[in-house]
Structure 1
């Protein structure tokens, strides 16, 4: 929630090439608004939602324009922008289910002079799906092998897993496994005013409490079967606080260590219980790849699996998600499906996204 990843991607018939990338910082005041909206704070209201939508659209536009300046590329050379937006609420569990992303695409297309595709999730939900995850369609395109069963693990705020069978006739599967970095990031920010636990050093400085980890692993979402998706509206500090009432004897670093173990164990649970066959390789992407402690935990638990960064497959781990939404925007313009029903639970494959022309 502290920044924007903007990627300039070139697609050819047989290749996907990352031309340039730009990380853009969000203004602190906007970050605070987004946190209040995401956590359903009493301070949040419709005016705040509307203004955050506008402000985010402006910042997204700035990120695109700075990316193009850095790459010495004119806007006229760009086919389209794929904008995921910021998710303020993802509630596929409700009877009147929905997923809401903000970041005004009208302003993006107007201020950049580039056709913009946004609102990727709601068509899938309209067809009975979860609206997430959507990256598995891209993972299948880039990472699948005819020679072995693989899985792709994206560790962002929430962790999600994509299963790619060597046998192309077997369906691709994908789902959220539970928290990725979100609880660890929130805990270290609360107690050390740091955005994240660099290399997992704080978590590695203590031992996880087995009883607390066992308690966290009883989480209904972790134990539920796919298709499923989650978000910060489920995993946040108030949720964690409820679980810590019986663990007042633990110090803050022990809790951080336990949160890292929870992320690891929830991923392992998903691999062992929700994938139809064993995998030979786990390809990891997202910010969690930089958490050396968490990566070592995964490798220790998956001794018979090759755990590798997506960097080894030609895609920088920090940019997989951004490239995926560029790919989804391309799918939209070519009138090709962007969802996989076996992943989201939708009744059919669909062209996703709304197009905002110049």
Structure 2
């Protein structure tokens, strides 16, 4: 067995997801998973850290506290899965993205900040930790994100339907396009998914997320607001492109609110923004896919899926990743377990067609316990 644990906490900052996988050169086998919620007080400080005024001291303490939460998730998963720690090759930790500034034009080098303390995490769990997955791709002139399309290519190449697209509805939505017959793999961020929906309902309802989109269903779509939001240059720009909370946040949203909308109407419009921008992104694909496979936390928002289905072109079917043996909530953490395996096996894991990097590269760094 070649066991790896993947750790992921997304843009929505709701939890640290830990997934244990057995990885071989031709497959990834899910073994077990465990999630640890990010406490409200820590979540608030993480959100504050997404602004560029955090002191170095506060950053270091926050990184240590975040690493301690990752250690808890890892150790609880190991206990739950009943595996011997020495059987695990490494823990692959993406870290919490605080700021993402990819290059805006050719020749510019961007940067991306993932909060992490790999040494602390490694010592606490007694295992090697692989981390800092975006840096090499950024150094090669790429966006550094999204990184999951390479994993999508690895696990969905045998769906026997081509071309297909995989839509990851995390805090930010990203789409992967796979045509195995032509050997094409593409991907890019399409815009906000859960991050704005979660932030808005938390402000007005005190809830971390809108379960099944029920609050959005109570609202009325504001067509002018939706049009204004979709006029943001991000949606018009061709890939490669990636984004995050530093762009799509409540301050961004409030610039477009020029009248006293009911909060539920704004929620309804934000949900429509996610659905329409995701399907509008088909314009950048070589062909219309035969099937759209959804994953990520947004895959459990039935109203969001209903709206996505309404925008899909004829003959494009909608499915979720569970139909292909991968639970929607586990895909991203599994992707980083696989990226850790790729690092240990010196396997390039970025896709230049996705990120815009000048060449393939091995992603990550490693510290030993």
Q: How many angstroms apart in 2 are the aligned matches of 1:240 and 1:89?
A: 18
Q: Does 1:191 align with 2:201?
A: no
Q: Does 1:166 align with 2:166?
A: no
Secondary structure of the equivalent of 1:163? strand
Other-structure match for 1:238: 251
Q: Contact 2:191–2:243 at 8 Å: present in 1 too?
A: yes
Secondary structure of the equivalent of 1:215? helix
Task: List alignment gaps of at least 5 residues for structure 1.
Answer: none
Q: Does 1:21 align with 2:45?
A: no
Q: Contact 2:166–2:292 at 8 Å: present in 1 too?
A: yes
Secondary structure of the equivalent of 2:176? strand
After superposition, the C-alpha distances for 1:257-283 in whole angstroms (9 at most, x for unaligned) are 011011111111101x11111110101
Report 1:286-301 matches (<5 A): 286-301=296-311
Q: How many angstroms apart in 1 are the aligned matches of 2:75 and 2:265?
A: 43
Q: Does 1:30 align with 2:58?
A: no
Q: How many angstroms apart in 1 are the aligned matches of 2:71 and 2:296?
A: 23
Which segment drifts farther, 54-63 or 284-293?
54-63
Q: How many angstroms apart in 2 are the aligned matches of 1:32 and 1:115?
A: 29
Other-structure match for 2:99: 89
Q: How many angstroms apart in 2 are the aligned matches of 1:25 and 1:185?
A: 15
Q: How many angstroms apart in 1 are the aligned matches of 2:329 and 2:137?
A: 26
Q: Contact 1:146–1:167 at 8 Å: present in 2 too?
A: no
Other-structure match for 2:352: 341
Deviation of 1:136 (Å): 0.5
After superposition, the C-alpha distances for 1:273-314 in whole angstroms (9 at most, x for unaligned) are 111111101010000001111100011111421110000000
Query: 2:56 pairs with 46, 56, 59, which one?
Result: 46
Q: Does 1:114 align with 2:124?
A: no
Other-structure match for 1:282: 292
Query: 1:227 pairs with 214, 237, 240, which one?
Result: 240
After superposition, the C-alpha distances for 1:76-127 in whole angstroms (9 at most, x for unaligned) are 0101111000011110146552011112111111111111100000100000
Q: How many angstroms apart in 1 are the aligned matches of 2:27 and 2:352?
A: 25
Deviation of 1:146 (Å): 5.1
Deviation of 1:13 (Å): 4.3
Q: How many angstroms apart in 2 are the aligned matches of 1:301 and 1:110?
A: 49
Deviation of 1:235 (Å): 0.5
Other-structure match for 2:168: 154
- Give the aligned CA root-mean-square deviation in angstroms: 1.3
Secondary structure of the equivalent of 1:189? helix
Q: Does 1:353 align with 2:364?
A: yes
Q: How many angstroms apart in 1 are the aligned matches of 2:74 and 2:329?
A: 17
Q: How many angstroms apart in 1 are the aligned matches of 2:277 and 2:25?
A: 37
Q: Contact 1:127–1:347 at 8 Å: present in 2 too?
A: yes
After superposition, the C-alpha distances for 1:221-257 in whole angstroms (9 at most, x for unaligned) are 1111000000000001111110002x32x21111110
Report 1:128-143 matches (<5 A): 128-143=141-156
Q: Contact 1:106–1:356 at 8 Å: present in 2 too?
A: yes
Q: How many angstroms apart in 2 are the aligned matches of 1:168 and 1:349?
A: 19
Q: Contact 1:159–1:178 at 8 Å: present in 2 too?
A: yes
Deviation of 1:202 (Å): 0.8
Other-structure match for 2:190: 177
Other-structure match for 2:218: 205
Other-structure match for 2:326: 315
Q: Please report the TM-score for the alignment, with normalisation by the length of structure 2.
A: 0.93
Q: Contact 2:225–2:269 at 8 Å: present in 1 too?
A: yes
